[in-house]
Copies of this chain bind each other. A is one copy, B any other.
């Protein structure tokens, strides 16, 4: 199967403010055809560097998609650079120029002289019509490589790709199917997880396995590419079935759902309700639970008790308990969760109390409390990293404790 490279052209994409997002769409489309994107490059509007980049891509890969640099101004250099890289010339097409002029006329404007630049086509290239803008695209075949020049504006690019590039790619590519599977876990370090599952995925070199650490969670992506869809599906299923029991209940999602959505769905299915009592996280846990639409089906609300006084006044945590054990302690976490649950009358309550830092001896220490209908408990956790990380990881632990408790109901 051929590999693809994507080259985004434009100096604005090399500033600290802008990213090339067109490549996400193109990757999705190419993947669906069974084509891997093996490299993405962003280059500025500089003739030699652009030509050099294009030349390298054509030499290496069978499919090269260029986006941007097809506009009318002097720094729109994609046409020239591809022509140079291929050792071809550009020729003026009067019919394209007429179409551009007609397009301006329809919107009551007059074509600028500089738009004539957009009517130059690489010798031997096919012109790809642009229904949504003035810049036509181009499709060039050269020694086994297919090169497409696409406009930068996403709506123009998408329409052109779907109308003109997809059919061409389908003609030249062997039929291929891609099937994927995703696990999401929490509460296990990346290296431990890899040690656990690598003996499995290493037996399957023809299946791509990616392990990703995201905000204290681990996401595992499996991806199989085969000539027949059935075989790709069977391969993914086979590996998933071997990994699943190794991770067991550390897996919270097998379809890409977020932890808060999974916990929310479990609460809803059990007709159970939840409230929170937050100290170190100051509301982040509630904020995260309510990031899921319709959270009001199971989430009542809660208390932000940032000071000791509030823990006593709002949650009824005894002053003596705070004095004896300190605010960051197991008994206080339990008393916070119990207090919230009793006051709001929900089935469950989660509490968080901890030292988020950045200063202090015990930074990263937190206690996560859970009050359930039958009992209340708290877990001690010690996180590394900065304030944001400690707070984020604390909400992970809280949601995951509740998930485990709900799984037993």
- Residue numbers of A with Cβ under 8 A of B are 11-17, 19-21, 23-25, 27-28, 31, 36-44, 46, 49, 52-53, 56, 60, 71-75, 103, 106-109, 111-115, 132-134, 153, 155, 189-192, 194-195, 198, 202, 208, 210-213, 221, 275-276, 278, 280-291, 293, 295-296, 299-307, 309-310, 313-314, 344, 356-359, 364, 382-389, 391
Contacts and interface: CB of A to CB of B under 8 A. Distances in A.
Given A284-B283, A291-B388, A304 B306 contact: no
A301 B301 contact: no
Given A38-B44, A302-B304, A304-B276, A287 B291 contact: no
Given A44-B38, A49-B39, A194 B114 contact: yes
A161 B366 CA distance: 29
A113, A155, A290: most-surrounded residue (chain B CB, <10 A): A290
30 contacts: A15-B27, A15-B221, A16-B24, A19-B24, A38-B46, A39-B42, A40-B41, A73-B194, A109-B189, A111-B191, A114-B191, A155-B388, A276-B304, A281-B290, A282-B286, A282-B291, A282-B295, A283-B283, A283-B284, A283-B287, A283-B288, A283-B304, A284-B286, A286-B304, A291-B387, A293-B359, A300-B306, A301-B305, A301-B307, A304-B304
A107 B225 CA distance: 40
A41 B8 CA distance: 10
Contacts of A40: 13-14, 41-42
Q: Is the interface of A mostly helix, strand, loop or mixed?
A: mixed
B291 A299 contact: no
Contacts of A288: 283
Contact of A314 (B286, B301, B384): B301
